[in-house]
Chain A
Amino acid sequence: MEAVRFDNVKFSYEEDGQDYAVNGVSLSVEEGEFVAVLGRNGSGKSTLAKLINALLVPTEGKVTVFGMDTLDAKMTFEIRKNAGMVFQNPDNQTVASVVEDDVAFGPENIGVPREEIGKRIEFALDAVGMQEFRHATPSRLSGGQKQRVAIAGVLAILPKIMILDESTAMLDPRGRREVMEVIKRLNRERGMTVILITHFMDEALQADRAIVMHRGEAVMDGPPEEIFARSEELETYNLTLPRAAAVCKALQAAGMPVNNAFTAEELAEAICASLQRG
């Protein structure tokens, strides 16, 4: 089933604007896909995300979420119930003065039964490692702790589509790994559709598909490995290779015969094979 569809979508923040933050995007995301969205600052990634859950509606063209048109105001609630979004800045997300109430807000809002809500809070706080802070005040947390609470708030909704807008940017390495694991598990086991906006190229490797935005347009779309094989083109979009891939390329440029590698594991494998060959 088609989870998200954009038909020649344009969006401008100005009333009579000629400046399109999203400028003629057509794409389709199937239910269960894990899509990374990459691109330089200001290329339209957050705008694209807000168009999916009807926080913004197209100036031109049409966006549908499970067939529901975001321009149809009657559908807004249903769309947001299906498409949960973690914002770039967690302060835009927190609503309650106690962490567990904040996490409960989403599921309550969409009518999850009382007894189920308790379980959802447990699950979500566990997933982000914030159990011990359940009675704390979100505004009085460290930057990364706030971000974890914001992620828990959306996880608790168990939306069919989860949109993460640079939501791991301020997590410590373990936190980042744990959140990625939960997301991947929900994607695998529940078929949750994931749209992950990120500036971490290593994170993008974990997706099935990567879309590169540039000046409001989707300029590249394909498996991450294919996208990263086009490194010169990537640079024009302010993107780089994952670190391990960059090292691998440097080795190849110096004449060492190593296979292409994107991760530390693949790089170690490739170096080892090359050093022990013949």
Chain B
Amino acid sequence: MRIVAKGLTYTYDPKSPFASHALNGVDLTIEEGEFYGIIGHTGSGKSTFVQHLNALIRLTGGSLRVGDYDLADKKCKFIELRSKVGMVFQYPEYQLFAETVEKDVAFGLKNFRKDMGEEERAAAVREALETVGLSYAEMEGRSPFELSGGQKRRVAIAGVIVTKPEVLILDEPAAGLDPLGKQELMELLHRIHGGWCKTVVIVSHDMDEIAENCTRAAVFSEGRVAMEGTPAEIFARSEELFALGLDVPVTARCALLLKERGIGIETDYTCRDFADKVLALWRAKEGGHAQ
């Protein structure tokens, strides 16, 4: 499903003196098949935008289409839309509610996959928990509120991927995961992306994560899209990013420092490509010496 937002606006508490203009005309198209990144300073409207995508926040200005669903249309089938667009919230606590981890993860299935039998559902819940690196046996009976921060995060992710939504939106999903857990989450997302999951959208403050994983990205600022492109295109514009309160990946910072010393490296800013380019320079130099 292709996502097309045009002139999207949103204001919290519009009639009060504390009205907060969160979105000020977002124009953005996310093609089906992308592994899309959204970055931007605190309060730039990222969470507000993504919550529009499965109608958790109802459209009040502009237009938004997700596949064939027109979210401006009052008759839009919102429940059906939500079964196809899964969302992992910024804080897992907002997502967890059931007495046990098992019930929490099963909830979405009960709602969206009514055709599923008891046994099949239990197997799906088990698989989802194991997929996010939790042991079903250890976790199923526990209260989701009596878990560590990272364990809560994993349960929240399991509760969304278990329904196999076509579009998967994750709002800062790696926050709270341990370093290997972060890597594993990204590997998991790549694994399902291209299978039942057609499009992944992640919001992140980690520039390295965006450079390593995303096909394209948008930079939000003040409720608008300030930049759009591949990570390589975006991170080449370091001055603009710094001015927006953002940063560049470690590889890009290193490339900038090398450039100051007269060493030019053209890279897409993934660690592997950066290392390959540096090695190529070194081998060329060694080769030069050998002759």
Q: Which residues of A contact B (CB under 8 A)?
A: 13, 39-42, 46, 88-89, 91, 135-137, 140-145, 148, 166, 169-176, 199, 201-202, 235, 238-240, 242-244, 246-247, 250-251, 254, 256, 264-265, 267-268, 271-272, 274-275, 278
Q: Which residues of B contact A (CB under 8 A)?
A: 12-13, 18, 20, 40-43, 47, 90-91, 93, 146-151, 153-154, 171-172, 175-183, 205, 207-208, 245-247, 249-251, 253-254, 257-258, 261, 263, 271-272, 274-275, 278-279, 281-282, 285, 289
B181 and A41: CB pair below 8 A?
yes
Q: How far is the CB of B147 from chain A (nearest CB, A)?
A: 8
Q: With A142-B47, A199-B178, A256-B282 as known contacts, state yes or no: A275 contacts B151, CB within 8 Å.
A: no
**Other-chain residue from A166, A247, A256 in contact with B274 (beta carbon distance below 8 A):** A247
SS of B interface (majority): helix
> From residue A79, how far is it (CB to closest CB) to chain B in Å?
23
| A268-B256 Cα distance, complex, nearest whole Å | 9
Contact B271 A246 (CB under 8 A): yes
What are 29 pairs between A and B in contact, CB < 8 Å? A13-B146, A41-B151, A41-B177, A42-B148, A137-B18, A140-B18, A140-B20, A142-B43, A143-B90, A172-B205, A174-B41, A174-B246, A174-B247, A175-B41, A175-B42, A175-B245, A176-B205, A238-B181, A243-B251, A247-B250, A251-B275, A264-B254, A265-B253, A267-B250, A267-B254, A268-B258, A271-B278, A274-B282, A275-B285
Contact between chains at B274 and A40 (CB < 8 Å): no
Asked if A240 and B179 make an inter-chain contact with CB atoms under 8 angstroms apart, the answer reads: yes
Minimal beta-carbon separation of B152 from chain A (angstroms): 9
Q: Considering the chains assembled together, what is the distance between the CA atoms of A172 and B41 in angstroms?
A: 5
Specify which chain A residues have a CB less than 8 angstroms from the CB of B42 in the assembled complex.
142-145, 148, 171-172, 175
Residue of A nearest to B272 (CB): A250
